[in-house]
Amino acid sequence: MAADSSGTVQVLVVDDEEPIRNALKKFLAQQQFEVYAAGSGEEALQQLRRHRISLMLCDIRMPGTSGVDLVPQAIEIEPELAILMLTAVNDATSAALCMQRGAMDYLTKPIELADLGRAVQRALKRREMLLENRHLNQWLKEEVTTRTAELHRERQKLERISVATLEALVNALEAKDPYMRGHSARVADLSATIAHQVGLSDEEVEQVRVAGRLHDIGKIGTREAVLNKEGALTPDEFEHVKQHVLIGSQILAPLVHLGDIISAVRGHHERWDGTGYPDGLRGEQIPMAARILGAAEVYDALSTSRAYQEKLTPEQAIQRLADLSGTVIDPTVYDALATIVGRRGTLVFLDEGGGAAT
């Protein structure tokens, strides 16, 4: 709140009736405010120029400059001014007009002192919040101006911060299942490598990496009994599991800056031949990031130990994926993955115990 050098909040009472003016001034002084008074709009403007007023209580009906006309003039002098209007019972229309012009609230005469006290505190609190927002906005503008050269890096930093909690949730979810532990991290790293191999930009590669970290966030909504089931899923259970891509995209939807990451999470179980889910997209209708995630996830499933299967070597996994190229997997993505595996000879992943395995 704006205050004088002593720290006291300054209030201005504007009313052409001296008894009301004095009564309001006495009450507010008892509330530890420093109170000034004006009997007209012209006098009020002089007081506003002379003092750092935080709150103005203003009558609507006054000779000369009315309260309705005083409001915008007062705000022009003191843009941070909180204004409470005092109105007669039959003058609600004028009070509403004052609020359209910048007043915060109005009280109907005769005024109960308890109501006045609460209204004053509400107005000052709202003013304080508006000031904080204004100061924050000003700070943000200054930061943008002085850090334009760093904007791209800062944006990436903010994106990482915004998804950190969701990544922690994914890690906590996977930690419950020794076979799934580290799955999203592995898929993210492999997907980013594939994205680079197919020629995506550095920014797009980073988006694919983030999408990989978050691609199974929707499994938070999948029943644990289904997640942990070792045998084949029933049709109903499979339909339940398929919902995780929709749940995931809904969880991420409020983070609008994620953009294409959300569509990648939604579409990572689409198939090249159009038989995937949830939307039955075909071929290049499927976002490239989703196609990459889908291939990386299948590779990870084949090349890591699962309750229902032994893990394959990287070469064996690539051979198995060759049968899926052109039906489940985008052939271009398969070729990139095969190139990566062939170049490395093997892909080093985090094993179930947290160490390195080949």
Q: Which residues are catalytic?
A: 219
**CA dihedral over 253, 256, 258, 259, signed as positive or negative:** positive
Burial class of residue 79, CB neighbours in 10 A (0-12, 13-18, 19+): exposed
CB 227 within 8 A of CB 177: yes
Cα distances (angstroms) measured from residue 245 to each of 124, 234, 238, 277: 47, 19, 13, 9
Quote the tokens at residue 223.
């029943």
Within its chain, how far is the Cα of 8 from the centroid? 37
**Cis upstream peptide for 110 (omega within 30°):** yes
What is the distance between the alpha carbons of residues 341 and 329, in angstroms, rounded to a whole number?
16
Cα atoms found within 13 Å of the Cα of residue 221, Cβ hemisphere only = 15
DSSP per-residue string spanning 316-348:
HHHHHHHTTBTTTB-HHHHHHHHHHHHHHSS--
